[in-house]
Amino acid sequence: MNRPELRKQLQALARRYPGIHPYTLVLRFQAQTGRVLTVQQVEQLLAEPGNDRDQPAKL
């Protein structure tokens, strides 16, 4: 899975659960995909500017 795909999945998950704590977001992402990321990696991915029309998800 490449970075843009990861970012899109994380943004969708963060939009689904507004105000979710980053650690909880990591756990939900891991449960859905089986991929293990750190809180720092998730925060970095969500902070990256995207090429899609959606606004970056905010934690």
* pLDDT for the residue numbered 53: 47
1-54 pLDDT, tens per residue?
Answer: 788 899 999 999 999 999 999 999 999 999 999 999 999 999 998 888 765 544
- What is the amino acid identity at position 59? L
**Burial grade of 29 (CB within 10 A; 0-12, 13-18, 19 or more):** buried
The overall pTM is greater than 0.75: no
Ranges of each domain in the chain? 3-47
